[in-house]
Amino acid sequence: MVTVTFLTPPMRDKIVVEVPDNTRITLLNLMKRFNLPRKCCGEGKCGNCAVKVMPLRKSARLVSLSEKEKRELFQAGKLSIEECESVQVKDIPPRWRLACQYVVSDEPVLVAF
């Protein structure tokens, strides 16, 4: 079981979701299940589903970015050249991710938007 915590300013309280192990679900689909809608394409083409994803463990290893996600985050102004290099060279995940592309893993995360 992994914990995904959603936090967004209009909400008074955070939403904490327990996701069973080996559940292949994107953050966007998880958000839809809990009525946290975003106006977006759902296909990795609009950049409107960008959310901040923060690991809740120090030793977290988050899933790396696909070229498609890098391109959309860069075009949406959510990924700098420096962060892009950190992703490629040091395997450090960026602050922003596309909710439609980020598949929930075994890392507990805080998702803010």
C-alpha radius of gyration, the chain, whole number: 13
CB atoms within 10 A of CB 108: 19
Q: Residue 102 Cβ, how far from ligand FES at the closest point, in Å?
A: 9
- 87 or 101, CB closer to ligand FES? 101
DSSP 96-111: EEETTT-B--SS-EEE
Nearer to ligand FES, 12 or 39 (CB): 39
Least CB distance to ligand FES at residue 96 (A): 11
Give residues in contact with ligand FES (CB under 6 A). Answer: 40-49, 72, 98, 100
